A and B are shown apart, each in its own frame.
Chain A
Amino acid sequence: MNYQSILFSADKGVATITLNRPDKLNSFTDEMHGELRDAFKTIAKDETIRCVLITGAGRGFCAGQDLSHLASEDARAEQDLGETLDKNYNRLIRTIRSLPKPVVCAVNGVAAGAGANLALACDIVLAACSASFIQAFCKIGLIPDAGGTWTLPRLVGSARALALAMLGDKISAEEAHDWGMIWKTFDDETLMPEAQGMALHLATQPTQALALIKRAFNASTSNTLDQQLDLERDLQTIAGRTSDYHEGVDAFLNKRPAEFSGK
């Protein structure tokens, strides 16, 4: 596929999206959003794709929205930030959260603003030791978007989330890991091989069950325990009808490794 702002490839069940504007720290433009939407359309349609890996090219992961076209006051007055969110960021975050396949994010460098929140919207977040996370929004008079005000307090608790959002402090990958904001950190040179290994593993797992796990966790944030128990019942009914469930039980009983098809 001929993209300008991202790289996209699919191999062995893993679709890899690389944000690819390295000279601009992979900051978001309308073009990049359009290409991401297109790539996710392919991912949603292609049954052979069973895991997604997102990372950035060059030294940064993603610096958030590209502000370079906002030099003049007129340009700033003209833009409707709500519309930009509706059109670009909200669709992207909703797509990732509702995608019935696991999404792994390898944060290779600085993740700022919407870039940080894109990473945190993914299912499993890995980071290089040199990576950092910044809720930069308050520094230009804005609020965390791309799901930040929802994701952050759930990951790190209100006290830390509010301070991060109001101070705009940069936190290291290690600190993010200590706070439970991300899953694991790796040395810079081992991040990509580790992330790719995890993505390849996930692409051999019971994809439907993983999708149902994601659905249950997504719903849990607004459900009562009673509602969630009902939902677990319903989703488990569905999981129990997949051929991967039968394969999993059969493999367990026969003490052999399971071969999941994702169906």
Chain B
Amino acid sequence: MPVQNQPEYTDLIVTTPAPHVLQVTLDRPKAYNALCSNLLHELADVLEKATDDPSIRAVVLTGGPIVFAAGADIKEMADHTATTVKEDSRAGYWAVVRNFSKPIIAAVNGFCLGGGNELAMHADIIIAGHNAEFGQPEINLGIIPGAGGTQRLLRTVGKSRAMQMILADERITAQEAQQYGLVSEVVPAELCVERAVKLATRIASKPPLAVQRAKQSILQAYELPLADGLRFERENFCALFDTEDRLEGIAAFTEKRKPHFKGK
């Protein structure tokens, strides 16, 4: 069953803005799209279904025009203790996002803070509206980022900048985020989602298995020493030679025609 026909979500809007592209819009405007457990649960649910849906080849993840997501839901967090927070189901939802095999493109307008920024960093590509602002303000609450903020930000913007953002709660603009490599493009806010959908459409026109193996290989660079990473890449490279799409891609190239990829 296609994803868009699933029961209504309360904290997300799920649409198909282009063939093979799923758009997931965080939709809790009254709470500045704070990532409450239900929202994360719904997001994990959408992604799990998209994993099994061969018609979905890329996902665009976005929020509102003024807020992408302002962080975790602080009200939910208030009553936790060290023990209960450890058993919280949220970690499982984050793992679904982390392990999602198809490309995710985040289109970020406005505030992208705390858990919001961590969610954006789970995406494979971030496109920012010119009004976007990125930060990790957890320190103000006596806590620290808990969904990869300290790790992903460090690897993206470098130690000194990550420390400044996390220890001092200094925010960065879209332009700075691009300079530091956190986002790949800054576009007018009005065109941000449109640009992300275009990019997703372009990716969706490529052979899906190759796209997924490429994504996996790139992400493995964070996990492995270079020599192991190169071996991992080589395995993925070889595995693709048994796919129909590889034969189709090469045939279309030599016959000077457009390829038709099936994801097989």
Q: B171 → chain A, closest Cβ, in Å?
A: 14
For window 181-215 of A, CB contacts with B under 8 Å fall at 215
B26-34, B98-106, B140-148, B184-192: which lies at the interface = B184-192
Q: Count A-B pairs with CB separation below 8 Å.
A: 10
A241: nearest residue on chain B (CB-CB)? B190
Q: B50 → chain A, closest Cβ, in Å?
A: 29
Interface string of B134-157 (1 = CB under 8 A from A): 000000000000000000000000
Q: A209 → chain B, closest Cβ, in Å?
A: 13
For window 180-237 of B, CB contacts with A under 8 Å fall at 187-188, 190-191
For window 213-263 of A, CB contacts with B under 8 Å fall at 215, 231, 234-235, 237-238
B: interface residue count bin: under 10
Q: A125 → chain B, closest Cβ, in Å?
A: 26
**Chain A hits for B187, CB < 8 A:** 234
Q: A110 → chain B, closest Cβ, in Å?
A: 36
Bound-state CA distance A231–B130 (Å) is 11
Q: A234 → chain B, closest Cβ, in Å?
A: 5
A222: nearest residue on chain B (CB-CB)? B175
Q: A222 → chain B, closest Cβ, in Å?
A: 9
**Chain A hits for B191, CB < 8 A:** 234, 237-238
Q: A104 → chain B, closest Cβ, in Å?
A: 25
Bound-state CA distance A234–B188 (Å) is 7
Q: B190 → chain A, closest Cβ, in Å?
A: 5
**Chain A hits for B188, CB < 8 A:** 215, 231, 234-235, 238
Bound-state CA distance A44–B187 (Å) is 22
Bound-state CA distance A237–B191 (Å) is 9
Bound-state CA distance A50–B191 (Å) is 23
Bound-state CA distance A231–B195 (Å) is 13
**Chain B hits for A215, CB < 8 A:** 188
For window 48-87 of A, CB contacts with B under 8 Å fall at none
A227: nearest residue on chain B (CB-CB)? B186
Bound-state CA distance A213–B191 (Å) is 16
**Chain B hits for A237, CB < 8 A:** 191
Q: B28 → chain A, closest Cβ, in Å?
A: 23
**Chain A hits for B190, CB < 8 A:** 238
Q: A16 → chain B, closest Cβ, in Å?
A: 28
B131: nearest residue on chain A (CB-CB)? A98
A231: nearest residue on chain B (CB-CB)? B188
Q: B178 → chain A, closest Cβ, in Å?
A: 11
Q: B139 → chain A, closest Cβ, in Å?
A: 21
Q: A199 → chain B, closest Cβ, in Å?
A: 26
Bound-state CA distance A237–B190 (Å) is 10
B191: nearest residue on chain A (CB-CB)? A234
Q: B132 → chain A, closest Cβ, in Å?
A: 14
Bound-state CA distance A231–B185 (Å) is 12
Q: B11 → chain A, closest Cβ, in Å?
A: 28
Q: A46 → chain B, closest Cβ, in Å?
A: 18
**Chain B hits for A234, CB < 8 A:** 187-188, 191
Bound-state CA distance A160–B147 (Å) is 54
Bound-state CA distance A234–B187 (Å) is 8
For window 232-257 of B, CB contacts with A under 8 Å fall at none
Q: B199 → chain A, closest Cβ, in Å?
A: 14
Interface string of B76-116 (1 = CB under 8 A from A): 00000000000000000000000000000000000000000
A234: nearest residue on chain B (CB-CB)? B188
**Chain B hits for A231, CB < 8 A:** 188
Q: B187 → chain A, closest Cβ, in Å?
A: 6
Bound-state CA distance A231–B175 (Å) is 14
Interface centre among A215, A231, A234, A235 (most CB of B within 10 A): A234
Bound-state CA distance A238–B190 (Å) is 7
Binding site for A on B (CB under 8 A): 187-188, 190-191
Given contacts A231-B188, A234-B191, A237-B191, 7 further A-B contacts (CB under 8 A): A215-B188, A234-B187, A234-B188, A235-B188, A238-B188, A238-B190, A238-B191
4 A-B pairs with least C-beta separation:
A234-B188, A238-B190, A234-B191, A234-B187
- 10 A–B contact pairs at CB < 8 A? A215-B188, A231-B188, A234-B187, A234-B188, A234-B191, A235-B188, A237-B191, A238-B188, A238-B190, A238-B191
